[in-house]
Amino acid sequence: MTAIAVRTAVVSGAATVLATLIGVPIGYAMARRTFPGRTIVLGFINTGMGMPPVVVGLVVWILLVRSGPLGNLDLIYTQRAMVLAQFLIATPIVVGFTTASFQALPPHLPDLLMVLGAGRLHRLWLLAREAKIGLLVAIMAAFGAIVSEVGASMIVGGNLERTTRVLTTAIVTETSRGEVERALALGLVLLVLSFLVNLALTVVQQRR
């Protein structure tokens, strides 16, 4: 059970980190830039925030399966495939919340940092600190969505006992076997894991 819990934390943690690294700069750009069709793009991103994980899993499976266009990468039924699928689920969530957080900042703040002499990356860092509360909501929401999803992990990971079984797919397996007590215990572990991660993020969020 410990191995499954650690695997869950590693897979969902890696996907959250990747989604944050990619999603925060995209969210910043969406908040700052104006371009034709911006509202439509934001509409797609906001739709993506509620995308069914099982659909994402299916698309990733079609791409990675041995006969698929990326089959030669030999990623299907690996943890990396699960990270990829979870990354695709988490990124629109991070982008959506990040865009809203940066848009809520005083509109002249980026200009102020520019005239004070902050370079592009430094500006992003200082603005991210100003938008910290919203950005941590983005990270918590993204982690919460992927640590609790089961469809994508099941399809692209294959629920292999020693390599790709995570807490959610393990709960499905144990329930189907009639091992309700074990399933409940796994559910409790999932809740504790989720709580500990969110508690750590909340401490960072609320620190002054």
Partner 1 sequence: MTDVEIEQVRVERSGRIVLDVPALRIRANRTTAILGPNGSGKTTLLRVLAGLERTHHGRVRRSAPPSPAGVAYAFQEHVFLRRSVLENLELGLRLRGVDAATRRARIAQSAALLDVAHLFDRRADRLSGGEARRVSLARALCLREPLVLLDEPLAGLDGRIYARLLEEMPQLLKAFAATTILVTHDPQEALQLADDFVVLLNGRVAAGGDKHTVATNPRSREVAEILGYTSLEADGTRIAVPPGGLTPGPGGRELVMVVEEVLDLVNHREVVGRIGDVRVRVTAVDGHPPPRSGERHVVHADLFYPLD
d(CA 24, CA 29): 9
d(CA 129, CA 118): 14
Q: Which is nearer to partner 1, 51 or 105 (CB)?
A: 105
The least CB distance from residue 122 to partner 1, in Å, is 7
Q: Which is nearer to partner 1, 104 or 191 (CB)?
A: 104
Give alpha helix (H) positions in the chain. Answer: 2-32, 38-48, 53-64, 79-103, 109-116, 120-130, 132-147, 151-157, 167-176, 180-206
The least CB distance from residue 107 to partner 1, in Å, is 8
The least CB distance from residue 135 to partner 1, in Å, is 14
Q: Which is nearer to partner 1, 7 or 123 (CB)?
A: 123
Q: Which is nearer to partner 1, 55 or 104 (CB)?
A: 104
Q: Which is nearer to partner 1, 35 or 176 (CB)?
A: 35
The least CB distance from residue 119 to partner 1, in Å, is 9
d(CA 48, CA 37): 17
Please give the structure tokens belonging to residue 61.
Answer: 């499976």
d(CA 155, CA 3): 20
Q: Which of 198, 153, 175 is nearest to 15 (CA)?
A: 153
Which residues are at the interface with partner 1 (CB under 8 A)?
A: 106, 108-109, 111-112, 114-118, 122, 126, 130
CB 154 within 8 A of CB 164: no
The least CB distance from residue 207 to partner 1, in Å, is 13
The least CB distance from residue 109 to partner 1, in Å, is 6
Q: Which is nearer to partner 1, 31 or 170 (CB)?
A: 31
Angle between helices 79-103 and 38-48 (to 10 degrees): 130
